[in-house]
Chains A and B, each alone.
Chain A
Amino acid sequence: MRKDTRFVWVLFLLLAWNVNTVLYAGGTKEKGEVKGTEAKAPKQIRYATIAEPPSLDQQVITSDQATTIAQHVFEGLYTFNSKYDPVPLLVESESISSDGKLITLNLRQGVKFHNGKEMTSEDVNASLQRWGKFGVRGPVLFNHVNQVKVLSKYAIQIEFKEPFAPWKALLAFINGGPVIYPKEVVENATKQPIPENQYIGTGPYRFVERNPGRYILLEKFADYQPRKDDPDGYGGKRIALIDKLYFVPVPDVATRVNGVKAGDYDYGEQISGDLYEMYSKDSSVRTLLNEGVIMPLMFFNSKEGIFKNNYKLRQAILACLDMDAALQTAVGPKNLWASNGSIMPKSTSWYTMDGTDLYNKKSPSLAKSLATEAGYKGEKITFMVSSAYKIHADIGMVFSKTLRDAGFNIDLQVYDWATLVSKRGDSKQWDMFFTHHGFIPDPILFTFMSDAYPGWWSTPEKAKLTEEFTVTMDPKKRLEVWKKIQTLVYQQIPIVKVGDVYNFDVYAPRLKGLGNTQLIWPKFWGCSVD
């Protein structure tokens, strides 16, 4: 061997030995130790989330990642059972006056906050007041509220200006909803999220710490007072069997799956549809369908531009679209999507096909004739989609191609999410944009039902039906009104609903008690680990 070569090899081996001695020898030993101590250590799971939430303050944040974590810490007055009907959580009983304007809520007694204090109606009142003033969804309810009164230590009364049918669904919806904080935490809180050192709720887990970029840690709350009724959906008895929950941001989908397979995580959320068949046959992981529907929506600009008051042109666009092709391209396996024209999904009591004649028509010829009737002469149509969500970009591409083939002059503009959100606020900059809607318990919470939401759908017909919808208390009559609203949506077309999309998650076989499907936000009370 030449002297040069010997020199190089000696240098290389010395350096390599040095590095490996520091890293690998210590590392493998420690890894064994970690595995050894895990058996004795408290039971814990590591949940791989797609992103970090900005805050866990549910009153002012609507991020799904935040709700998945925060629902273990905070509780509201009501929640949902497995059929998505509102059921009491912190409330023991309720009474409603004959005119429907006075709601009296009797609270459960002996419910403890994580700081040891007992929850009373003063805490509930302060929490509702802050949510009503600053909460993201609070004004939807509080615009109809005259006042909230504390009747006694455990009773509170909400007085409405007129009967307001969706009150219970709004109180039950934790995402952007009225979770209950201690009075001293919430009474001076504003629009800014409550700081982490004041995450004090009544849930079965308490907040321990947030290590940015690494994890959020929750720990079993020893003094939790569960309800007595049987578990049903998010309702009923909540028993924490796992001591610690780690929520770890793992942005890459392949890493989430590989991490579960390698044993580094116990649960990985939102796995790509194209991997569903592969992992449903893989014995090292379990797959779980998430019932929390995602509804891809395309909005029209009702305020300005080519679509303003031009319902015929909007109908032409809708008549052209092939929802099956778009959903197949964007999602993949057929059991993860449904081309459903009903604005509310099939699993809810709001499902109706009224007015959906033009949905999934896939007819370029009809589109052309409707466009001619509408006076369309090839003007540019600005269509904004975001690359931040694969489903938006994919469906946007399919729709653009379909519409161009039918003779529409589509100017597809692809932006990051922040840019799209900023641009859609300016009615002069767009004609159509793409987004999606998560599950909501009551159609009144759809973004397009708000006159102020970009798209700005505001017509006398809508106003009249919305008013009727909110004051009608009887569920059957409300459904009839909703059918009329859906028919109006398909006439005036403020939005195009593409269909229903479902996510699937993967989890480690050692995790028990998750059931066959997952609700909107995965929950871990009632679950255990081997």
Chain B
Amino acid sequence: MLRYVLKRFVSMVPSLFIVSIIVFLFIHFIPGDPAQILLGDMATPEQVQQLRQEMGLDRPLYVQYLYWLRNALKGNLGNSIFFHQPVLGVILSRAETSILLASMTFILILCIGIPVGYLSATRYGSRLDQFISSASMAFASIPTFWLGLNLMIFFAVYLKLFPSSGFPSILKDGKLSNLIYLVLPSITLSAPNSALVIRITRASMLDVLKEDYVRTARAKGLPELWINVKHVFRNSLNAVISTLGFTFATLISGTVVTETVFSLPGIGRLVVDSILRRDYPVIQGIILTIAVVYMIINLFVDLLNAWLDPRIKSGAGASV
């Protein structure tokens, strides 16, 4: 197992290298000049050129890339053009919000998605199943900005139960209660994602319910709860875990609309704002970080699936 994990980590290196080249080329090929944006409308072409030189933006692209790569290998992702702070610091200051928001949302998704999906599958064809299917479709279709604003108006403006927006840092304030700022955003984000997990759980369990060994277990007179949990639910988990892994990675790497609506200082808004500002070092650093996060989560999902289904590890079964 350790060898497998090490092999996967080593295989990340070329992937990250390719990602860094692609991102570097893309961001430099789109029009826009950070020096011009920073200096504003009144700046003369000479002033812009002078700042470009100070920033090193006048050098050939491959020189800029090699310079960036050399520093990145030393753990230095450069300085943000906009914030005038180290990129790593800027990313870490936003990571707190994104990690906590993703974790809270993920807990809600687990609380809602899996039990409700289980219930829907075990009551297949009933009125409850039909209701759950319709409700999950409705939640999957609700735009997050609409849901977020309505939750804000109802719970923050009228009931004043939750803060409307923002998120003071827990690391800085030391107050765990600041998590209350993330309640409405996590509910907003969990609605469509829970609906997805409900549908995947239901569909996977329905597939397994048709298997011969389930019929055999029933014929043997095993209790229904035992069959559903031990044989059906467990064997349907591969697809659910893959979906959950992907969902968590998406939540970590950015939920721009929700972050904008609730004014949260997260990774998603940082990516979009940095692209609009042409803050090249931040874009480069953040995309690389997101790529690492995706790869690690994928690895974790693969390991979990292999643990649940040993055929995957041995290569006998199909990977999900």
Using CB atoms and an 8 Å cutoff, list the residues of chain A in contact with chain B: 2-5, 7-9, 11-12, 15-16, 19, 22-24, 26-31, 48, 52, 54-55, 60-63, 134, 136-137, 139, 176, 190-193, 195-196, 211-214, 248-252, 254-255, 258-259, 261-264, 388, 415-419, 421-423, 425, 435, 445, 447, 450, 452-453
Contacts and interface: CB of A to CB of B under 8 A. Distances in A.
Contacts of A27: 162, 177, 179-180, 183
8 contacts: A9-B115, A11-B114, A26-B176, A30-B177, A30-B180, A191-B54, A261-B164, A425-B33
Residue with the greatest number of chain B CB neighbours at <10 A, chosen from A15, A248, A262, A422: A262
A137 B45 contact: no
B111 interface: yes
Interface in B93-152: 93-94, 97, 104, 107-108, 110-112, 114-116, 118-119, 122-123, 149, 152
Nearest to B48: A425
B108 to A, nearest CB: 7
Contact of A12 (B115, B123, B160, B172): B115
Interface string B211-239: 00000000000011100110000000000
Given A262-B156, A418-B33, A425 B45 contact: yes
Given A137-B42, A214-B265, A11 B115 contact: yes
A30 B39 CA distance: 43
A423 B31 contact: yes
Given A19-B108, A264-B156, A252 B263 contact: yes
Given A62-B40, A262-B160, 14 more contacts: A7-B225, A8-B118, A15-B107, A22-B176, A26-B177, A27-B179, A27-B180, A248-B263, A252-B263, A254-B261, A255-B165, A418-B33, A422-B32, A422-B36
Contacts of A196: 84
Contacts of A55: 38, 84
Interface size band for B: 35 or more
Given A12-B115, A23-B104, A258-B164, A212 B260 contact: no
B169 interface: yes
A48 B263 CA distance: 10
Contacts of B156: 258, 262, 264
Contact of B152 (A28, A255, A419): A255
B33 A30 contact: no
A417 B276 contact: yes
Contacts of B118: 4, 8
B209 to A, nearest CB: 12
Contacts of B38: 54-55, 61, 193
B225 A3 contact: yes
A506 to B, nearest CB: 13
Given A255-B165, A259-B165, A19 B31 contact: no
Residue with the greatest number of chain A CB neighbours at <10 A, chosen from B97, B157, B168: B157
A193 to B, nearest CB: 7
Contacts of B152: 255, 258, 262
Contacts of B319: none
A12 B111 contact: yes
Nearest to B266: A213
Contacts of B112: 12
B177 A418 contact: no
Given A12-B115, A192-B51, A418 B278 contact: yes
Closest 4 CB pairs of A and B: A213-B265, A27-B180, A30-B177, A418-B32
B54 A214 contact: no
Nearest to B33: A422
B37 interface: yes
A139 B39 CA distance: 14
Interface of B: 30-33, 36-45, 47, 50-51, 54, 82-85, 90, 93-94, 97, 104, 107-108, 110-112, 114-116, 118-119, 122-123, 149, 152-153, 156-157, 160-169, 172, 175-180, 183, 223-225, 228-229, 260-263, 265-266, 269-270, 273, 276-278
Contacts of B261: 252, 254-255
B93 A211 contact: yes
Contacts of A214: 166-169, 265
Given A136-B42, A251-B260, A419 B31 contact: yes
A4 B225 contact: yes
A321 to B, nearest CB: 23
A120 B137 CA distance: 70
Contact of B179 (A22, A60, A425): A22
Contacts of A255: 149, 152, 164-165, 260-263
A262 B163 contact: yes
A31 B101 CA distance: 19
Contacts of B277: 54, 418
A74 B189 CA distance: 42
A213 B104 CA distance: 20
A421 B32 contact: yes
A62 B41 contact: yes
Nearest to B172: A211
Contacts of B114: 11
Given A16-B111, A262-B160, A421-B32, A4 B119 contact: yes
A212 B85 contact: yes
Contact of B119 (A8, A136, A176): A8
A136 B225 CA distance: 73
A249 B166 CA distance: 9
B87 to A, nearest CB: 11
Contacts of A259: 164-166, 263
B50 to A, nearest CB: 5
Contact of B43 (A29, A48, A136, A258): A136
A373 B184 CA distance: 62
A416 B84 contact: no
Given A30-B180, A213-B265, A252-B263, A3 B40 contact: no
Contacts of B225: 3-4, 7
A20 to B, nearest CB: 9
A12 B112 CA distance: 7
A265 to B, nearest CB: 8
Nearest to B42: A136
Contacts of B107: 15, 19
Given A26-B176, A54-B38, A195 B43 contact: no
Residue with the greatest number of chain B CB neighbours at <10 A, chosen from A193, A250, A255, A453: A255
A452 B42 CA distance: 10
A321 B224 CA distance: 75
A261 B157 contact: yes
B276 A5 contact: no
Contact of B39 (A9, A48, A136, A262): A136
Contacts of B177: 26-27, 29-31
A19 B118 CA distance: 20
Residue with the greatest number of chain B CB neighbours at <10 A, chosen from A27, A415, A445: A27
Contact of A192 (B54, B175, B224, B270): B54
Contact of B40 (A24, A61, A445, A452): A61
A15 B276 contact: no
A250 to B, nearest CB: 4
A192 B225 CA distance: 68
